[in-house]
Amino acid sequence: AEGGNAEAGKTKSATCAACHGADGNSVNPEWPKLAGQHPSYILKQLMNFKHDERVNPSMTPMAKPLSDADMADLAAYFSSQVKKAGEADQTKVALGEQIYKGGNNATGVAACAACHGPNGAGNPAANFPALNGQHVAYTKLQLHAFRKGERANDAGKMMRNIAAGMTDAEIEAVAEYIAGL
Ligand code: HEM
Ligand code: HEM
């Protein structure tokens, strides 16, 4: 994992575990599960927080003191953990599935599956993150942040352009669908 050492990462992860869980499965639904996420994506996010390209009051101070080696070790550790399945509100998944697999032609929303994969496993080679099983609240927060431009660390505005065309109801539905993937 980008040269990272998972054992060393485990030692360095004690403070992270308070929010992200000792097993990488956070309890608070506004804090992302990191278990099983691609190491290259975790590493990129930590670099982005450290260099103020992604801003969050909890994460910015955590990332600032990390060295490149620390970040690679933490990425290797969290990616090696096993993600727990999420739960979808079954009354909302039909619209969510439609958006996820087909997008919305009328409003120019691209299909999520094209980049994040039919099962939400992402694509490590392209640094498209895994989304499957993620907390509904966290996914919604990120889509709203991309839509408002408050999260702007997506190269080529890939996610900002997509979120810009989404309604609140579409965001809610796709977040539910993703949680159940
Ligand atoms: C987000 C790692 C400590 C709260 C993230 C992300 C990573 C990460 C990689 C991005 C996940 C994604 O994009 O899917 C770490 C590491 C930590 C640490 C390695 C220890 C060095 C903490 C602590 C807290 C926290 C102590 C709580 C006080 C959050 C929150 C987010 C986040 C709220 C989402 C930020 C947003 O909405 O943009 N963390 N974390 N993290 N982390 Fe941490
Ligand atoms: C990141 C959802 C379509 C490329 C994300 C994240 C979410 C998301 C929630 C943040 C993940 C996290 O913080 O852990 C969606 C949904 C889509 C969609 C619901 C369909 C409506 C796409 C498409 C592409 C794409 C079509 C490629 C053209 C990316 C990339 C990132 C990302 C590159 C990572 C940005 C970064 O480096 O921080 N997506 N996505 N997504 N998505 Fe999408």
Nearest CA to ligand 1 atom 34: 31
Sequence letter at residue 130: A
CA 115 / ligand 2 centre spacing (Å) = 8
116 and 69 in one domain? no
98 and 75 in one domain? no
Distance in angstroms between the alpha carbons of the first and the last residue of the chain: 25
- 38-62 pLDDT per residue, tens: 999 999 999 999 999 999 999 999 9
Domain ranges, residue 46: 6-79
Residue 38: name the closest of 122, 112, 101 by CA. 122
What percent of the chain has a predicted confidence (pLDDT) above 90? 98
Sequence letter at residue 120: G
64 and 15 in one domain? yes
Sequence letter at residue 92: K
59 and 129 in one domain? no
User: Does residue 11 fall inside a structural domain?
Assistant: yes
The whole-angstrom separation of Cα 17 and Cα 179 is: 21
Ligand 2 within 6 A of CB of 109: yes
Residue 89: name the closest of 179, 27, 26, 171 by CA. 179
The Cα-based distances of 171 to 39, 100, 126 in angstroms read 26, 10, 23
Domain at 49, CATH number? 1.10.760.10
Query: Which ligand 2 atom sits nearest the alpha carbon of residue 170?
Result: 21
- 92-143 pLDDT per residue, tens: 999 999 999 999 999 999 999 999 999 999 999 999 999 999 999 999 999 9
User: Does residue 87 fall inside a structural domain?
Assistant: no
- 3 has pLDDT over 90: no
Contact 72, 150 (CB under 8 A): no
Q: Which ligand is nearest to the CA of 147?
A: 2
- 4-27 pLDDT per residue, tens: 999 999 999 999 999 999 999 999
Residue 150: pLDDT band by 50, 70, 90 thresholds? Answer: very high
User: Does residue 85 fall inside a structural domain?
Assistant: no
Nearest CA to ligand 1 atom 10: 45
The whole-angstrom separation of Cα 30 and Cα 27 is: 9
Query: Which ligand 1 atom sits nearest the alpha carbon of residue 71?
Result: 19
